[in-house]
Amino acid sequence: MALMGVRKIGKFMGGAALVGLLAGAVYGQTPKKPPAKPPSAPLPASAASLDKVVLKVGEEKITQADLDFIIATMNPQAKRALATQGRKGLGDQYATVLVLEQHAVAEHLDSSPTFVRQLNMQRRQLLAEAAYSEIARQAAVTPEETNQYFTTHAEELAVIKVRQVAIRKRAEGAPEGTKGLALAEAKTRAEDIRKAMIAGAEPKKVAEQFQVPDEVIVDVEPRDVGRDAMRPDIRKAASQLKDGEVSEVFDLPQVLVFFQVVAHHQPELKEVSAQIENTLRQQKIEAAVAGLKKQANIWTDDAYFAPPAPTPPEATPKTPPASPPAKP
């Protein structure tokens, strides 16, 4: 039973949970391989009821297994909603899908060129997701690879604990009431806060004195920031500062930012092994996909895929010539 058109039905239902419960179960989810059962293990008591018919729409019968499959592939948010609301809503919405599907078939909408094209595109998407999932399943990471990455990327894995200060800037000429401080005022405020932090003022008192909602944000509790997550200039400054020292002010497009280094931490392998495995697995997946694309002999029409032409500047209206003075 295809679920083509489920997202549009969500609008028909007035934005009900159909999209979250059904579409969320099918689209954008990485299929999970069910755990293998030992051959000698007894079947669970509920296995006999999987073929039980739980929904009928005309002559079409939907079994418990059909709906259990949908539920099993839902995203966590949809599962929580289902646990709270029960299965009744899911059954009502799925019945709506079947009713509209049967009506579409009766009207021969399934043979329209648009529908056939959409169905082919969905099939390709689902097959691509299945292939990606299989590549991901095969992208195993060995302990040796994890250890080697940990040894050669120690600096990238380092974590710096910082207290950050951010001051929102208000653009020159911004309308009255716009959040933020004028650049000169923002710089003055930043230096005042820096001086207080350098002097050893307690973070809580600094926040109480200077913080302004949505304009001046002063961290009271430090946060962990990976070096690889920092801008290069900020990363360089952070790596050179000692614990307790305060950085210079960085003028970013919308905010002024600076920070106090609380501690440098070099994690142990056990702390970052999962992170490393995910990184290496993703690298293997991307390499496998790149290899497939290279073998596929891809060709594109450069004219069709050309970047958009630059927008021509608006013409400046010409000033009409002055009228000659009237003759007396």
CATH number at residue 197: 3.10.50.40
Question: Strand pairing partners for 192?
Answer: none
Say yes or no: 126 and 205 in one domain: no
pLDDT at 316 over 90: no
Q: Please tell me whether residues 102 and 250 are part of one structural domain.
A: no
Residues 245 and 287 grouped into a single domain: no
Select from 260, 164, 166, 251 the least CA-distant residue to 216: 166
Q: Are residues 201 and 230 in the same domain?
A: yes
95 found inside a domain? yes
If asked whether residues 129 and 73 sit together in one domain, one would say yes
**Domain assignment present for 316:** no
In a domain, 105, yes or no: yes
Based on the structure, what is the number of domains in the chain?
3
Q: Which residues pair with 163 in a beta bridge?
A: 260
C-alpha 91/C-alpha 95 separation (Å) is 6
- 114 and 259 part of one domain: no
* Distance from C-alpha of 262 to C-alpha of 228, rounded to nearest angstrom: 18
Query: In one letter, which amino acid is 306?
Result: A
What stretches of the chain show up as alpha helix (H) in DSSP? 6-12, 18, 24-26, 64-72, 76-85, 88-106, 113-138, 143-152, 154-157, 183-198, 203-210, 232-240, 269-295
More confident: 32 or 164: 164
- Domain identity same for 150 and 253: no
Q: Are residues 87 and 204 in the same domain?
A: no
The tokens for 117 are 């094209």
Whether 250 and 272 map to the same domain: the answer is no
Rounded-to-integer distance, Cα 282 and Cα 285, Å:
5
pLDDT tops 70 at residue 40: no
| Lowest-confidence region among 31-40, 51-60, 229-238, 274-283 | 31-40
Q: Is residue 307 part of a domain?
A: no
pTM for this prediction: 0.61
* Higher pLDDT, residue 41 or 256: 256
Please list, in sequence order, all residues whose beta carbon lies within 8 angstroms of the beta carbon of residue 168, skipping any fewer than 6 positions away.
179, 180, 181, 186, 214, 215, 216, 254, 255
Domain-embedded: residue 72: yes
Q: What is the extent of the structural domain holding 223? A: 159-265
pLDDT at 315: 61
| Residue in the structure block whose two tokens are 């709506």 | 96
Residues 25 and 112 both lie in one domain: yes
Q: Mean of the pLDDT values across residues 268-282?
A: 95
pLDDT of 22: 42
Q: Is residue 303 one of the residues assigned to a domain?
A: no
What pLDDT sits at residue 25?
Answer: 40
Note whether residue 100 is domain-resident: yes
Mean pLDDT across 157-161 = 90
26 shares a domain with 123: yes
Q: Any idea what the Cα angle at residue 23 is, between residues 48 and 44, rounded to 5°?
A: 15
In a domain, 42, yes or no: no
Taking each helix axis from N to C end, the angle separating 76-85 and 88-106, rounded to the nearest 10 degrees, works out to 110
Contacts (Cβ under 8 Å, ≥6 apart) of 264? 158, 159, 160, 161, 243
For the residues 254-266, what does the mean pLDDT come to?
94
If asked whether residues 152 and 280 sit together in one domain, one would say yes
